[in-house]
Every structure is written in structure tokens, then in C-alpha cells.
Amino acid sequence: MRRIGSAFTTAIVIVVGVITLLGLLVGDGLGNLSLLVQTTGIGTMTTVFLQLATITIAVTVLIGIINLLSVHGQRILRPTDGRAMTRVYSLILVVSALAVIVLGTLERSGVLTGEPPVTMILLEGVQVSIESALAGLVLFALVYGAYRLMRKRVTGSALLFTVVLLVLLVGALPFSSPVIRLIGSIRDWLLAVPVSAGARGILLGIALAAAVAGVRVLIGQDRSYRE
Amino acid sequence: MDTTTQGLTIVIILLAMVVSVVVTQFIRRRRDLYALREIRAYGALPRMVGEAIEANRTVHVALASSGLGAENTLLALANAELFYQVLRRTVIGTTAPIFSVSEASAVPLAQDTLRRAYESRNLIQHYRVGSVRWYPGGTRSLAFAAALTTTVNEQVGTNVLGGSFGAELALVTGAAARANQNVIATSDQLEGQAIAYVMSDEVLIGEEVFAGGAYLGGSAAQVAGVVTTDVLRWLLILGLLVVVADGLSGGVFSRLLGSLLGGG
């Protein structure tokens, strides 16, 4: 029975995947092939599948909210690590989530009016400013990371990393001495040639692996939906 | 999408399909046909999970800014496969693992991954939906990173962080380092990748995260996926070399190709 179920889900994934791929890839600009896709209704089916996916993803937000409230509700009532702060963090999170849901509902129903909306004020005033403060802390975490890297093991790549980091930082200094200018030009070359090449290499590798992962799903080799 | 891009995409997909199917059959017949190169993170991962279990600490896996239905769906699926391999080694311990996600669409994926891990060990009775935690990340994953800094303080022994982290990954890895926890990290963003290299104990670079199933699971189809990626990579390198040679030789290759295709 389990094998039949697995074969059934695999068949659904392959059929829906191939139809969607054909609709998106061949649906336009490829002459007779595109005409074939359009006349057989594959284009319409692709649109329906994409709309279904969008609706399903929207529903997952509801699942997420239920998950958030239940997980943190449990942590408030039965903290697993016995730390008081765990309860406090979870309590703040649950209260904030419920408050935003209530405020949002009141705004949508027209009970709360005013410009800018309260939820927007909360987002701009609380979340954005706290995130900006956290972003400021990233620098210190990075410096600590560089120190940790060199303390852990002094390897060739660790040394190269530290030297490049120093060149980048010193090269960005706003002074006009000949040495700083020279380091600045080395920094520009580093960013334009090796850093850019390495970054493209990494991104190309990710793109190729993603393409292969997609193909594995299409031909039924990915097992995540079969078990 | 222009016609050239459409044609190239079709060729890449067909090529990947053919190579993947053919190589899978070969590897099923001869398991030692293709030796995977060493990736230190995958070598260290079982040890790190074992250390966490022996110390009665939990293993924390986190998927940042990747979910189903968006452009990074495949990244989410690849990370889910890696996390499945981590979790199926973890669930035999007494402490339940923690799976954090920042996208709501990743919650069902995370729950299913965790369920499969328990089921693979016949321990489904220990599966708790609450082990999956959703921390909404917003436009940037800073809020998610902040939430993870509190999670890593909860008796965690080993962290495996994947998905799409930016520079904020430094906050999480910093908190884990202060608590003497093991960290394996990766990201599809270059900033996150750089932070992972500097601040984690072991790092997965670029497409290595897509090979998690092949290294830790080792089924023929998963190894075939790695071989297919390698074949595509070599073809890409060959293509780049041809373009460079064509440029250096004043367009000899493009004229040859044009005459072969009947362009005169």
C-alpha cells in the first residue's frame, strides 16, 4: 500500500512538474512547439498550477502562526531548559504577535483609522530600528570571527583572508597618502578581479546544482515526497 | 525569455535528465564507480552530532529565508535533504532536535523532514510538531538571526545553519561560539558564505549543500546528482574556454560553428 502511495505521489509530481515546465519554458517564442503547447491547453494548466501553488503558500502563513503560538505557548507554560528568560522571550513574542494580529484586524475592518496605520508605525518604529541596531552589531561579530579564525588554526587560507580583509579595510580609509592610494588601487583590483571571479564561480556552481536538483524532482529521483 | 535562453535551458535540462538517469543505473550496478571527493564538513558532521548526543545536548538545524514556492525552492529542498540526514542521526538521542525556519512555507517542509527522520528510525512516537519553530524573518533575516541567538542558548550542542543567510549569520555563529557549540554553516548569499567560512567550525561552500544526500545518505540517485553536476560543470568550463579561444583567435570558432549550422 505504501509503495502504491509512493508511486502515486511520484506520478503526480512528475506530471505536474513537466506540464508546468513546458508551459513556462516552451509556451512562447518557439514557433510550432509553442503553438502545440498553447493548443493542448498546457499553458492554461500551468497558470492554474501556479495559482494553486500561490494559494497553498498563502495558507502556510496560517500554519506558521499556529506553530508560533503553540510552540511559544508551551515554552511559557513548560520551559524545557528551566531558564526564566526563555519564558520572558516567548511571552513577549506571543503578546507582540497577538497584538499585531488584533491591530491588523481592526485596521482592515475600519475600526482603527488614521495615517500612517498603527501597524506601519510599529513596523517602522520597532522592527526596522531594532534590526538596524542588530546590523550595527554584525561588525563586532565579524571582528571576533576574524580573531577566532586566526586563533583556531593559522592556515594559508586564514592568512590570505586576514591579509585581504586588512587591505580592504585600509584601502577604504579616506586619506590621500601615496601608500593608502596604492593600497586603495590594490583593493579595487581585488574586488574587480579575484573577488568577482570567485563570486561568479560560486553562484554558477549553485545554479548548476539547483538545476540538477530540479531535474531530479522532475524525473522522480527526489524521495522527500515519497516517504 | 529570449529564444537563445530558452534553447540553452532546454538543452541543460535534457542533458541533466539523461546523465542523471544513465549514471544512476551505472552506480546501482557498481557502487564504487565514482569516488566522491572529500568535503570536511560532511566528514565532521557525524562526529559533531555524536558529541551533542553524548553530552545530552540537542542538535539545532536552521533554514533561513528559503521556502517552497519562491525562487529558492530548490535550495530549501536541498537543505531539507541535508537536515534529514542530520536529524536521522540525531533522533536516537534523548533530547529532541530543534528545527528553526524563517519562511512560513518552510514549516510543512520542516515538519515533514523531521517526521521522516523519526520514521526512518522507527521512533515516530517521539516526534513532536513543536520541535519545528517558525520565526518570521521579514524582508531581512536579522529578526530570524536574533531569534536564533536565543535558541542556541538552549542546551544546544551542534548547529547546522543553511538556507539564505546574509551578514547577520555572524550574530548566530558568534552566539554559538561563545557557548562552545559546534557550527556547520552555509548560505547561497556571498556575504553569508564569507561569514560561514570565517566563523563556523566547518563550512559548506557553494553547491556543496546540494550534495548532502550523496555524502551522508549515499543512494545511487543522489550520487548520480553529484556526477551530473560535475558533468555540467566541466561542460560549462569547456564552453568558457571555447569562448575565450574564439576571442583570442579572432572568431575562428564562431565562423566554424556558423558554417556547420549552414550559415554560410
Given the C-alpha cell 515526497, which residue does it identify? A225
**Which of B211, B190, B193, B213 is closest to B203 using CA atoms?**
B193
- B2 in contact with A at a CB cutoff of 8 Å? yes
A 129-168 → B contacts, CB under 8 A: 130-131, 134-135, 137-138, 141-142, 144-146, 148-149, 161
- In whole angstroms, give the CA distance from residue A224 to residue B120: 12
- Sign of the CA dihedral running B159, B71, A33, B11: negative
Residues on chain A touching B236 (C-beta within 8 angstroms): 204, 208
Q: What is the ipTM of this complex?
A: 0.89
Neighbouring CB atoms inside 10 A of B7's CB total 12
For residue B70, CA distances in Å to A50, A58, A138, B212 come to: 11, 12, 27, 21
B 30-59 → A contacts, CB under 8 A: none
Residues 6+ apart with CB under 8 A from B34: B23, B27, B223, B226, B227
Could you tell me which residue, A152 or B105, shows the higher pLDDT?
B105
Residues on chain B touching A27 (C-beta within 8 angstroms): none
Residue A59 has pLDDT above 70, yes or no: yes
Superfamily of the domain at B40-216: TPP-binding domain (3.40.50.1220)
Residue A15 has pLDDT above 90, yes or no: yes
Are B87 and B61 contacting, i.e. CB atoms less than 8 angstroms apart?
yes
A65-92 pLDDT, tens digit per residue, is: 999 999 999 888 887 666 778 888 889 9
Q: Strand pairing partners for B160?
A: B61, B184
A199 membership: H or E segment, kind and range: helix A196-218
Nearest CA to CA, how far is B116 from chain A (Å)?
Answer: 7
Nearest chain B residue to A70, by CA: B130
Nearest CA to CA, how far is A81 from chain B (Å)?
Answer: 6
In a domain, A108, yes or no: no
Total number of residues shown for chain A:
227
In a domain, A159, yes or no: yes
Look at A211 and B232 and tell me if their CB atoms are within 8 Å.
yes
For residue A189, CA distances in Å to A58, A184, B190 come to: 45, 9, 18
Look at B129 and A67 and tell me if their CB atoms are within 8 Å.
yes
- B119 in contact with A at a CB cutoff of 8 Å? yes
Look at B3 and A29 and tell me if their CB atoms are within 8 Å.
yes
For an interface test with A, give the residue of B25, B77, B103 to mutate (most A CBs within 10 A). B77
Q: Where do the CATH 3.40.50.1220 domains begin and end in chain B?
A: 40-216
- A214 in contact with B at a CB cutoff of 8 Å? yes
In a domain, A199, yes or no: yes
- What is the rounded (10 degree) CA torsion for A24, A28, A32, A37? 40
In a domain, A9, yes or no: no
A 50-69 → B contacts, CB under 8 A: 53-54, 56-57, 60-61, 63-65, 67-68
Are B169 and B192 contacting, i.e. CB atoms less than 8 angstroms apart?
yes
Nearest CA to CA, how far is B253 from chain A (Å)?
Answer: 24
In a domain, A211, yes or no: yes
- In whole angstroms, give the CA distance from residue B97 to residue B156: 9
**Which of B67, B114, B74 is closest to A57 using CA atoms?**
B67
- In whole angstroms, give the CA distance from residue B251 to residue B215: 43
**Which pLDDT belongs to residue A34?**
83
**Three-state SS string across chain B, please?**
CCHHHHHHHHHHHHHHHHHHHHHHHHHHHCHHHCCCCCCHHHHHHHHHHHHHHHCCCEEEEEEECCCCCCCCHHHHHHHHHHHHHHHHHHCCCCCCCEEEECCCCHHHHHHHHHHHHHHHCCCHHHCCHHHEEECCCCCCCHHHHHHHHHHCCCCEEEEEEEECCCCCHHHHHHHHHHCCCEEEECCCCHHHHHHHHHHCCEECCHHHHHHHHHHHCCCHHHHHHHHHHHHHHHHHHHHHHHHHHHHHCCCHHHHHHHHHCCCC
Nearest CA to CA, how far is B104 from chain A (Å)?
Answer: 5
Nearest chain B residue to A150, by CA: B198
- In whole angstroms, give the CA distance from residue B131 to residue A80: 11
A 168-207 → B contacts, CB under 8 A: 199, 201-206
| Structural domain count of chain A | 1
Ramachandran category for residue A137: left, alpha or beta (phi over 0 → left; psi -120 to 50 → alpha)? alpha
In a domain, A175, yes or no: yes
Residue A214 has pLDDT above 60, yes or no: yes
Are B96 and B60 contacting, i.e. CB atoms less than 8 angstroms apart?
no
Map residue A189 onto helix, strand or coil.
helix
Q: Which three cell numbers stand for residue A200?
A: 561568479
Look at A199 and B190 and tell me if their CB atoms are within 8 Å.
yes
Domain range for A191 is 153-227
Amino acid found at A201: G
Residue A102 has pLDDT above 90, yes or no: yes
Are B181 and B59 contacting, i.e. CB atoms less than 8 angstroms apart?
no
A104-121 pLDDT, tens digit per residue, is: 999 988 888 888 888 888
For an interface test with A, give the residue of B74, B161, B178 to mutate (most A CBs within 10 A). B74
Residues on chain A touching B171 (C-beta within 8 angstroms): 134, 137-138, 141
Q: Kindly give the confidence (pLDDT) of every residue in chain B, 264 residues in length, as a single tens digit, with 9 standing for 90 and above.
A: 778 888 888 899 999 999 999 998 998 888 788 889 999 999 999 999 999 999 999 999 999 988 888 888 999 999 999 999 999 999 999 899 999 999 999 999 999 999 999 999 999 999 998 899 999 876 667 888 888 888 877 789 999 999 999 888 988 998 998 899 999 999 999 889 988 988 899 999 999 999 999 999 888 889 999 999 999 999 999 999 999 998 888 888 788 877 876 655
In a domain, A180, yes or no: yes
By CB neighbour count within 10 A (0-12 exposed, 13-18 middle, 19+ buried), where does A135 fall?
A: middle
Degrees to nearest 5, angle at CA A223 with B109 and B205: 70
Total number of residues shown for chain B:
264
Could you tell me which residue, A10 or B140, shows the higher pLDDT?
A10
